[in-house]
Copies of this chain bind each other. A is one copy, B any other.
């Protein structure tokens, strides 16, 4: 109940805007009342994260297509996180251990093991993977990129500003940055995410093969 209310606030105001007082308002009650049901804001965030983890849909594992399925899981996780504004910010530095989060890692662990990935590699890659998806979703989610000068505008305006900035650099000191100015700013979040997914899965395949020298 209170977790659902908190999630409604997150969807509207973002993680930083999800204050105890606002969650209490959502329930037409006082902030102090929340502390009867929840130890502190930290616990509330954990509960919210696990609830969100429960929204992740998992297909039936198909070890023969494990690479495609790993990517599919990544996309599903990202979609689920972004559905709740910048809740990915709350995942950073937190290790979710609720039943719903565990269900996801259990699924991934099963898939990787069935695919022949060594146990040790599978255990390590679980962390790496969620680290990537969480960090990416967070970067994309807070639509306003905090700029040093308070000039933060829309996404496109910021990108144009960056491009101009890169191009204006002294070409003798930053030849590559100037030359690749367009490439550095082009490419939406979707494309960047897919690129990371490709690199991760390809790297995992190579690493796993190297770690299992029985051919």
Contacts and interface: CB of A to CB of B under 8 A. Distances in A.
A128 B196 contact: yes
Contacts of A183: 119-120, 122-123
A35 interface: no
7 contacts: A43-B148, A124-B195, A128-B196, A128-B199, A195-B207, A201-B203, A202-B202
Interface in A73-130: 89, 92-95, 97, 102, 105-106, 109-110, 113, 119-128
Contacts of A131: 132, 135-136, 139, 196
Interface in A172-215: 173-177, 179-180, 183-184, 187, 191-192, 195-196, 198-207
A94 B148 CA distance: 10
A42 interface: yes
Contacts of A156: none
A9 interface: no
Interface residue tally of chain A, by bracket?
35 or more
Contacts of A134: 135
Contacts of A97: 148, 162, 165
Contact of A204 (B94, B119, B132, B203): B203
Copies of this protein in the assembly total 2
A107 B196 CA distance: 21
A145 interface: yes
Contact of A46 (B125, B126, B139, B148): B148
A180 B122 contact: yes
Contacts of A89: 92-93
Nearest to A131: B135
Nearest to A118: B183
A174 B106 contact: yes
Q: Which 4 interchain pairs have the tightest Cβ spacing? A: A203-B203, A199-B203, A109-B176, A123-B183
A29 interface: no
